[in-house]
Structure 1
């Protein structure tokens, strides 16, 4: 087996495109339309892997030969060994990321399958806080903010219609000559359940922009 190269959000994209193609096989009678859907699926998958090697592209392009439901399942299962893991974290590491939070309540880290998360997120209902951890440029970044449940809405991270809450975090970046009490809050609607959000995510652009804005990266 080759080196793992498929991140969680990329695998979600592959599943989404495979499902669209499978649906076309079951519902569309025009072969030209089906082949158009197949071509679109192939292109979107390949575009998600700009740094893929020739062998990796061949593996991804196996979707071009799929016809039956069994083949769809086999294709997805064949990619699972090539999934990369979100770097495992420990309670000690999380406490260092959130030093200002006393008695930090962390999730059950032993119950997490790190292949299937793009970011680590959890809620502290008692304090109405949401905690988010993401590896940006090889370094874990921890962000916490106020968590205000609302109703159904579109999550800014996964772009899906789910149960969301308003997540408000204070940016660490300050303008030159800002007063000592200056602060700027950034608010976005995010999935209440980070596990659902991780299953939905097919792109990390919004997440990385948010992390960069909060920590002050340019």
Structure 2
């Protein structure tokens, strides 16, 4: 019986490190250099999953034995059953996160493979808004903000990859104790226009969680 323990962003990191090792095996002639890349890949994978038990560690550590394209492919495929799903969320729960949006457009949840989701993100063209939904410390949270297409590639705050981005501007919910009723503070950052692409790239949730905390 497989017990899922690898989150989407961790699987992306494993895939990235495995790709770097495969590239080294295919292109580098110096065995010492290949072994250095092999050690680095294994170390970064293990560091990303510090809570893995002994069986899980043994499964992950098999990366150190890979050499051929077939072995690399099999390794990644063998990890897929261990991927955890983005915790189930209903349309009703999402609408409750954004009570002020009367005609909230929600993605087709049944069509999403939740194993490959770190956060739910979608654009509502009608309201010119980008919505994010994430499980933070066991609680479902939602963020909404205005987006402006940048019409260029730049680094996304969340996945740190060079992709097509939009400038995302969010009004923070928290206010200083003595703030006037009309006080507001906005935080802006570049985010991937395509959240599906971002979910395929993201290897660390630190920036995502800090952003959600900052605007909360």
- With structure 1 as the length reference, what TM-score do the two structures score? 0.97
The alignment status of 1:170 with 2:171, answered yes or no, reads yes
How many residues of Structure 1 are paired with residues of Structure 2 in the alignment? Answer: 215
Q: 1:13-69 CA distances to partner (integer Å, 9 max, x unpaired)?
A: 000000000000111000000000000000000000111111111110010111110
Work out the CA distance in 1 between the residues paired with 2:203 and 2:173: 28
Do residues 52 (structure 1) and 52 (structure 2) align? Answer: yes
Unaligned runs of 5+ in 1: none
The residue that corresponds to 1:186 in the other structure is: 187
Please tell me the root mean square deviation across aligned C-alpha atoms, in Å. Answer: 0.7
Q: Secondary structure at the match of 1:63?
A: helix
Q: Which runs of 5+ in 2 are unaligned?
A: none
Q: TM-score, normalization: structure 2?
A: 0.98
Question: For 2:46 and 2:2, how far apart are their aligned partners in 1?
Answer: 18
Q: Match of 1:167, SS?
A: strand
- 1:118 is matched with 118
State the match for 1:102 in structure 2.
102
Superposed counterparts of 1:149-160, under 5 Å = 149-150=149-150, 151-160=152-161
The offset of 1:88, in angstroms, is 2.2
Task: Tell me, in whole angstroms, the C-alpha distance in 1 between the residues paired with 2:66 and 2:153.
Answer: 36
User: Aligned equivalents of 2:2 and 2:162: distance in 1?
Assistant: 36
Mapped partners of 1:2, 1:110: distance in 2: 23
Matched with 2:16 is 16
1:3 partnered with 2:18 = no
- 1-side partners of 2:64 and 2:155: how far apart? 32
Q: How far is the alpha carbon of 1:127 from its aligned partner?
A: 1.5
Deviations 1:117-170 (A, max 9, x none): 100000011221000000001010011000110021110000000000011111
The runs of at least 4 aligned residues of structure 1 exceeding 4 Å deviation read none
The 1-side partners of 2:129 and 2:67 are apart by: 47
For the pair 1:74 / 2:50, whether they are aligned, the reply is no
Q: Give the C-alpha shift of residue 2 in structure 1.
A: 3.5
